[in-house]
Amino acid sequence: MWYSNRRPPLQTYGGTIVWDSFTLNTPNWQSCLPGAECPGDAPDGFLSRDEIIAYFEGYVERFHLPVRYGMDVEAVEPNGVIM
């Protein structure tokens, strides 16, 4: 995650501080998640922080993903499912 020291954090999201100036450093067409439409109106544009959060929240809700916040991940192992 990218942090800016220009202003204090605007909100805490899932236990993580999300700065108001946060943005992904990849264009919208590279931010597509499996099974979802690419975010944003401009393929070569960049989503705002609020748009990124809304895109991820919508994805979690649509696919009923078991997202947990504030957890330490010690290992990631394949389960035989390819997405």
pLDDT tens for residues 16-45? 666 667 777 889 999 899 999 988 889 999
* Whole-structure pTM value: 0.64
Q: What percent of the chain lies above the pLDDT cut of 70?
A: 73
Is pLDDT of 64 > 90?
yes
Is pLDDT of 57 > 50?
yes
DSSP assignment string, the chain: ----SSS---EEETTEEE-TT---SS-GGG-PPTTSPPPSS-TTS---HHHHHHHHHHHHHHTT----SS---------S---
* Rounded average pLDDT over 45-53: 86
